[in-house]
Copies of this chain bind each other. A is one copy, B any other.
Amino acid sequence: MQFESAQEQRVLAVDIGGTKLAVGVVDGTGRVLESLRTPTPAIAAAEEEPGKSGEAIFRALTDLIGRLTTDPAMLSGVGIGCGGPMSWPDGRVSPLNIPSWRGFPLRDRLREEFPGLPVRLHNDAICVVLAEHWLGAGREHDTILGMVVSTGVGGGLILNGRLIDGSSGNAGHIGHVLVHPDEDPAEARCQCSAVGCLEAIASGPRLAAWAVRRGWRPDREESERTGRDLVEDARAGDPIALSALARAGRALGIAIASATVLCDLELATIGGGLAEAGPLLFDPLEASLRERIGLDFAKQVRVVPAGLGQNVGLVGAAALIVRGERYWSAD
């Protein structure tokens, strides 16, 4: 398919998370021309064989794609962001929150749907970082760490203008950089099994649990004690919620300090629900970071909120196609 300008290029973008499937058509400038989203079908593994429920989710995805109005013949490629873990670049996905996809060959299945087109898939956190680098808070910079702090803590590295994949496509796991390796395991054991990972401190659920242990919202349901509620209460001045955000900020400062000296970063961008706390998170983060960085070159690093909104995942998935020379190193 030939196209004459970035405005005329059309990329099918797919963003798959545990709670929603989103699809869209994005042009070569990153504009989202149309998009659709639907909750990820919740199919109890017990009700069906895992293989069948996996197929049902894929069918929900292709149905959603079929409802887009753009002529498939106009497309120049398919970009996909999906929750990890996954094997990469072959794109067999096992998203933590989609139990019926275990080693599901998502890239191959979409290739069958779009024969002849490039079909490229990466971690959803990576796609967020690509979007931020292409068009968001990182767009003037060549050497950035992009982060998403919400239910988990994910990220991606762009160094000297290129996405870093690492040896298995998993570079950027800032959530498992060790920030409090000497802390009591009862307080700081991570889901990954290590003690003191950033994610074990600063993810929304872990932060909420920390606050609850200190007496925050004692009479509420679990569903009303999320990271988002913590941000809300901190804004209203709740001292425990404020302490929790300060704790997250300090941990983020330690992880960013380590990443900065190792990768000589210019910039770290932070998106996700917790970033919406603004200065309540960023001020303690900044204080911690400045205390933790001694080397002159590293003092140049800046930390900023992510710049893009709701469609960031679709834009980043499209970037795998539109800016393949920088962001796609595989076949």
Question: Residues on A close to B: CB < 8 A?
Answer: 85, 141-143, 157, 159-160, 164-174, 176-183, 190-195, 197, 254, 257-259, 261-266, 291-298, 300, 329
Contact = CB atoms under 8 A, between A and B. Distances in A.
Contacts of A300: 167-168
Contacts of A170: 264, 295, 297-298
A179 B291 CA distance: 15
A194 B171 CA distance: 26
A167 B254 contact: no
Nearest to A266: B167
A159 B164 contact: yes
A178 B198 CA distance: 12
Given A169-B264, A176-B294, 16 more contacts: A85-B297, A157-B262, A159-B166, A160-B165, A165-B264, A167-B265, A167-B300, A168-B297, A173-B261, A176-B261, A177-B258, A177-B261, A178-B292, A182-B183, A194-B291, A197-B294
Contacts of A164: 159-160, 164, 263-264
Contacts of A179: 178, 181
A264 B171 contact: yes
